[in-house]
Amino acid sequence: MTERTPGFATLAVHAGSQPDPTTGARATPIYQTTSFVFEDADHAASLFALQTFGNIYTRIGNPTNAVLEERVAALEGGTAGLAVASGHAAQAVVMHTLMTPGDELVASKKLYGGSINQFNHAFRNFGWRVAWADPDDIDSFERAITPKTKAIFVESIANPGGIITDIEGVANVARRARVPFIVDNTLATPYLCRPIEYGADVVVHSLTKFLGGHGNSMGGLIVDAGTFNWSREGRYPMLSEPRPEYHGVAMHETFGTFAFAMACRMLSLRDLGPALSPFNAFLILTGIETLPLRMQRHCDNAAAVAAWLAGHDKVAWVSYPGLPGDRYHSLAKKYVPKGAGAVFTFGLKGGYDAGVKLVSNVRLFSHLANIGDTRSLIIHPASTTHRQLSDAQKAQAGAGPDVVRLSIGIEEPEDIIADLEQALAAT
């Protein structure tokens, strides 16, 4: 009898974890410690020289975090993972590992507003530049590539508009350009979409959202697909060249298919320091155990709410790929066949003022700047999350003045719709 490969729901509960060898505890313990005792001087030396795997200091790694890293990597089909303090921290660590001053990143212009701000402004302080491409025009990614381009970045389901990216199409561009392809899979989660299967080399997550799922803890995660040749052409020196801080160890030569995860940990996380709290890792692990159950409920509820809004006389349009008439419906059937996610936008005929009134009159919905909670959430991006962008940038990001973003929770769909109905009546 051949050994069975565990299914997704089984991995969500068990991947990376074993009963605690000392106490027998079944739940992964919270190793709330800053540092770990060495066996002797030789053991310490081998850890610091990357000759032995083990725990040194929680800024670099922690046993609770390690279970989380292995679990998300297993769910995504990657070779290794690295947990960090937030989704933004994950993006910063990835780019710090890939880029040097003067290098460029090509990114989809349909991104979370905070990512647009990070790429346009914070990254500029490192000497990194971003070129924006249109996910509706795959050739625009190719046109944006220059000899200085070091990566391509997209979201599988774009925040806030719920737009589905043609992952395979952009992956082909990245392959031709010989640059790694990075996919933010926060809104889809690996339950709905596994970007590595379509050509992604690196996957990043805000664990704060659907993977944690309960709005109680911040976190980010990087998954290494193990697919990219980091030594080719010497364009990624942090991975291909001997590292002086580790006595000449070359990351790709030494660690092979999980070299990128190791480089992110030992060359970026170690020195930049955005470590994930073991307590947060514990909470997120608990959330992941119910991920397949929650995500299906999120998607089913979102489809019902989107269909109801599409027929409302105060709603000008609904952008949800799960609707048969949506322009991204065919991509949704390919990349997220189990459901088009829980986050989508719609436009109010009353514009900006109507959006502000709507979010002020909801009762069941929570008006806040987050997504991926068990609770239904609402926000008017133009007055909040995307406020720092110009009007043109807001429109490009799908956050125009009339736009309202919903993150549909796991409540009864009739109750969600009833709350929107009374709030729309108040506008």
Q: Roughly what angle, to the nearest 10 degrees, separates helices 63-76 and 278-288?
A: 40
End-to-end CA distance of the chain: 64
Kindly state whether residue 2 falls inside one of the protein's structural domains. no
Domain at 160, CATH number: 3.40.640.10
Domain at 323, CATH number: 3.90.1150.10
| Same-domain pairing of 338 and 248 | no
Kindly state whether residue 90 falls inside one of the protein's structural domains. yes
- Give the type of residue at 264: C
| Same-domain pairing of 233 and 251 | yes
Kindly state whether residue 3 falls inside one of the protein's structural domains. no
DSSP reduced 3-state for 269? helix
Can you name the residues that pair with 220 across neighbouring β-strands? 84, 206
270, 287, 304 — which closes off a domain?
287
pLDDT at 2: 61
Half-sphere exposure of 367 (CA within 13 A, CB side): 17
Check if the beta carbon of residue 141 is closer than 8 Å to that of residue 152: yes
Kindly state whether residue 223 falls inside one of the protein's structural domains. yes
Kindly state whether residue 25 falls inside one of the protein's structural domains. no
| Same-domain pairing of 242 and 266 | yes
| Same-domain pairing of 257 and 322 | no
Question: Residue 414 sits in which domain range?
Answer: 291-425
Instruction: For residue 153, give every residue at least 6 positions away whose Cβ sits within 8 Å of its Cβ, in sequence order, or none.
Output: 91, 105, 106, 107, 108, 111, 119, 182, 183, 184
Q: State how beta strands 181-184 and 202-206 pair.
A: parallel
| Same-domain pairing of 246 and 325 | no
Q: Which two tokens stand for residue 50?
A: 């990357």
227, 261, 287 — which closes off a domain?
287
| Same-domain pairing of 209 and 277 | yes
Alpha-carbon distance of 298 to 291, in angstroms, equals: 10
| Same-domain pairing of 234 and 332 | no
* Residue 208 per-residue DSSP state: T
| Same-domain pairing of 181 and 306 | no
Check if the beta carbon of residue 121 is closer than 8 Å to that of residue 139: no
pLDDT at 394: 77
| Same-domain pairing of 366 and 260 | no
How many structural domains comprise the chain? 2
Q: How many Å separate Cα 195 from the centre of its chain?
A: 11
Kindly state whether residue 1 falls inside one of the protein's structural domains. no
What are the pLDDT tens digits along the chain (427 aa)?
Answer: 468 889 999 999 999 999 998 899 999 999 999 999 999 999 999 999 999 999 999 999 999 999 999 999 999 999 999 999 999 999 999 999 999 999 999 999 999 888 998 999 999 999 999 999 999 999 999 999 999 999 999 999 998 778 999 999 999 999 999 999 999 999 999 999 999 999 999 999 999 999 999 999 999 999 999 999 999 989 999 999 999 999 999 999 999 999 999 999 999 999 999 999 999 999 999 999 999 999 999 999 999 999 999 999 999 999 999 999 999 999 999 999 999 999 999 999 998 899 999 999 999 999 999 999 999 999 998 888 777 778 787 776 677 889 999 999 999 999 999 999 999 999 8
Q: How many Å separate Cα 180 from the centre of its chain?
A: 16
| Same-domain pairing of 174 and 204 | yes
| Same-domain pairing of 240 and 353 | no
Please give the model's pTM, rounded to 2 decimal places. 0.95
Alpha-carbon distance of 213 to 297, in angstroms, equals: 12
pLDDT at 1: 43
| Same-domain pairing of 131 and 227 | yes
- Give the type of residue at 19: P
DSSP reduced 3-state for 39? coil
287, 313, 346 — which closes off a domain?
287
Q: Which two tokens stand for residue 327?
A: 């322009």
